[in-house]
Structure 1
């Protein structure tokens, strides 16, 4: 049985100014990253700096990834009212974050391979010119990070049951699409710093091995960040939410009612901080599905509930003490 009153249900996004601002900022970062990418790749070839070249190609992949993030914001907003999306278009953004994480893995592998090759085949570097370009790249990365900086997410859960519950405390309100773009910018900053350190080391101490070493270390750090982002976005895409503490809290709240056993429970996210819930209970009592759904009004993040009540027939066959056959 489902609730006839859907006034509490809202799509996963309502695309208020926060989301529109994120979209505009992402496009600005795409433009900044693209211009710096061209500068660094050209300078890396011209001045023979592996660290600078790696940073440039790294920024090229990030321009594509952040472009995906901006496009995802646009598409999610564009199709927000499309009824073909059962629970809204939030996962378009998560899918873009997953694609960005895959691009990070590709970048890490390419950087690692090229850096290792440079250990055996070093090139003469024009230090002074390359340093200037690396500093410019770092400044652009810092500016981009400022544009994509984390803002207070206006949790959408307050639409659901205003005045009930305290909300979900586990940080699921974060924007995975913005997080993916921000991680790309952070890795850009990391490779820019690595390039500067490598160029200074080679220039002043003659440490020719430092240039490719910075490429290797940068690739490893990028790989670690990519793994974390892949796991988080994949979890949302695959609806792997049943190990979330919210599930146990919902089960305890339902089973606090006398003569109630939860035999089936499914929760999955349909927005940054919104969940849908399907539940099935067994009871000898006369409580209705609406009664059980009322128990969940205290969970502000649960915005859609479908409940099924199975009643045990007291006067029919017994499979064991106190257990009867199920009646729908």
Structure 2
């Protein structure tokens, strides 16, 4: 019997990340709304000469990509949830999608800054009334998407609640809110240009929008890369594990090594190496550690 057959016949389960079906459905619906409005705003911004409107359209394209990647990640995480090739489940598929989206967003932010500065230097004629109408429609779409991605406050007829620690869902929601703010900036700039002739405000708002995208992208890169690189040894759960292992009850133990790996939104695997001159009861240690519900997979090595 080969190793793959043995693994497929295993009785244990390494899928610690339960599917977030509400988020999957919401991201698909939000992505469709966003793609439609993105096309309208980009074409409208180019046709009517509004950099703020064009910037909002490009911002929508970035968050359409984020929603698309999030939906794809949910689908793949569900599809391969029980695949034995994934040591700790498919949680990081979603995190990888968030990281990839953030990298793309950085490129969009720099492109928008370049275009906005170009418009400041070389102003263009703007059809303000038409551009304002499109920007208002864009804001409405953003609010609809925010409703679809409202997170743990949402539930369907089956009373299935969204996951409060879903990084993909949080990122998509923040992106939609940021996009709504960019739409507001575009509307303000266009109205000011129409009423007061402040043409410089339109590209300026484009720069403000790009800064918002940049800040969001950097924040998402930091959060997702931390999980991808297992840089979580300063998380609260680490201190909780150490508190147990260094308690008086286990003063005969020497902690040789400790690894904490995030395997779901609020779930961790724990790999511990200890040594002792006395007999070590591994089962007792595991039972004490399992009072922390975040720990779902514990491996203890005795040297």
**Structures share fold, TM-score greater than 0.5:** yes
Contact (CA 8 Å) 1:288, 1:309: kept in 2 or not?
A: no
Q: Is 1:231–2:222 an aligned residue pair?
A: yes
CA contact (8 A) 1:43 1:53 kept: yes
The structure-2 alpha-carbon separation of the partners of 1:64 and 1:236, relative to structure 1 and needing over 3 Å to count, comes to same
How far does residue 21 in structure 1 lie from its aligned partner after superposition?
A: 1.6
Q: Distance in 2 between matches of 1:263 and 1:214?
A: 55
Q: Is the 8 A contact 1:10 1:303 kept in 2?
A: no
Q: Helix, strand or coil for the counterpart of 1:82?
A: coil
Q: Is 1:214 aligned to residue 215 of structure 2?
A: no
Return the index of the structure with the highest Cα Rg: 1
Residues 1:152 and 1:247: Cα distance change in structure 2 (over 3 Å): farther
Does the alignment pair 1:189 with 2:163? no
- How far apart in 1 are the matches of 2:139 and 2:12? 46
Higher percent of residues as helix: 2
1:119 and 2:112 equivalent? no
Residue 247 of structure 1: SS of its match in structure 2? Answer: helix
Match of 1:270 among 243, 255, 263: 263
Q: Deviations over 1:210-258 (max 9, x none)?
A: 0111111111122111111110000011111111121122112111123
How far is the alpha carbon of 1:290 from its aligned partner? 2.1
> Aligned equivalents of 1:292 and 1:23: distance in 2?
38
* Count of aligned pairs between the two proteins: 285
Query: 1:1-328 counterparts in 2 under 5 A?
Result: 11-15=15-19, 19-151=20-152, 174-256=165-247, 257-310=250-303
Q: Does the CA-based 8 Å contact 1:175-1:272 persist in structure 2?
A: yes
- Mapped to 2, the partners of 1:143 and 1:295 lie a distance apart of 46
Provide runs of 4+ in structure 1 moved above 4 Å.
Answer: 6-10
| Matched-pair contact (CA < 8 Å) for 2:56–2:209 | no
Shift in CA distance, 173/287, structure 1 to aligned 2, threshold 3 Å = farther
CA distance in 1, matches of 2:92, 2:287: 28
Displacement after TM superposition at 1:300 (Å): 1.0
3-state SS of paired residue (2:152): coil
Query: In 2, distance between residues paired with 1:49 and 1:140?
Result: 19
Which deviates further from its counterpart, 215-224 or 139-148?
A: 215-224
The alignment's TM-score, normalised by the length of structure 2, stands at 0.89
Cα separation, partners in 2 of 1:173 and 1:286, compared to 1, 3 Å = farther
Output the CA distance in 2 between the equivalents of 1:279 and 1:153.
38
RMSD: 2.0
| Aligned mates of 2:42, 2:273 — CA distance in 1 | 59
Residue deviations 1:90-134, cap 9 Å, x none? Answer: 111111111111122111111111101111111111111110110
